[in-house]
Every structure is written in structure tokens, then in C-alpha cells.
């Protein structure tokens, strides 16, 4: 990000504008992906709550969606903790 040129008011900077548009587009895509992941997690949770799927099926569903790593099962890891 430090390599992106800073747009200055009153200065014609078409390259900077293209990079700005590209970054804005990437941010919109990331936002859409995060909403999709959130909706999928909520759908799995609701299905599990209503007993529409078993716990094994729910876990497999999360694996199939590629989001199982986002689910914290058990206590938090102490890997990142400072001693």
C-alpha cells in the first residue's frame, strides 16, 4: 500500500485514480465475500439449531465451504499469547 501514489487536490493523476478505483473494487469484493461467509455461517447455525443437519454434517458443510478454519472450537490458542 505504501507504493500507491498519494492523490493531491488539483493535480491530474490518472494513474493514481486507476489504482484508487482498483482498490475500491477490491474492497467491494472483499466486503461481498465477508457477507457471503457470514450468511453461510448463520445458515449452518440455524440449520443445526433446527436439527435440519447433524453436527457432523454441519462440520462437513463448513469444510466444503472452506470456512471451517474461521470457527473456533474449544478454548483460544495460546500460540499468540505473550509470556
Give tens-digit pLDDT for 25-41: 999 999 999 999 999 99
Query: DSSP of 2-48, one letter per residue?
Result: TTSPPP-TT---HHHHHHHHHHHHHHHHHHHHHHHHHHHHHHHHHHH
The C-alpha atoms of residue 36 and residue 3 are separated, in whole angstroms, by: 30
- Give domain status of residue 9, yes or no: no
- Tens-binned pLDDT, residue by residue, of the chain (83 aa): 555 555 555 556 677 899 999 999 999 999 999 999 999 999 999 999 999 999 999 999 999 999 999 999 988 877 655 54
pTM: 0.70
Q: Is residue 60 part of a domain?
A: yes
Domain total for the chain? 1
Give the residue numbers spanning the domain of 56: 16-70
Question: Grid coordinates 465451504 are at which residue?
Answer: 65
In a domain, 38, yes or no: yes
Nearest to 44 by CA among 64, 74, 20: 64
Amino acid at each position: 500500500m505504501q507504493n500507491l501514489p498519494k492523490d493531491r487536490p488539483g493535480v491530474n493523476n490518472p494513474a493514481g485514480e486507476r489504482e484508487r478505483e482498483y482498490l475500491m473494487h477490491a474492497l467491494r469484493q472483499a466486503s461481498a465475500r465477508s457477507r457471503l461467509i457470514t450468511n453461510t455461517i448463520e445458515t449452518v447455525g440455524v440449520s443445526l439449531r433446527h436439527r435440519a443437519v447433524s453436527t457432523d454434517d454441519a462440520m462437513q458443510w463448513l469444510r466444503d465451504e472452506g470456512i471451517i478454519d474461521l470457527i473456533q472450537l474449544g478454548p483460544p490458542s495460546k500460540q499468540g499469547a505473550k509470556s
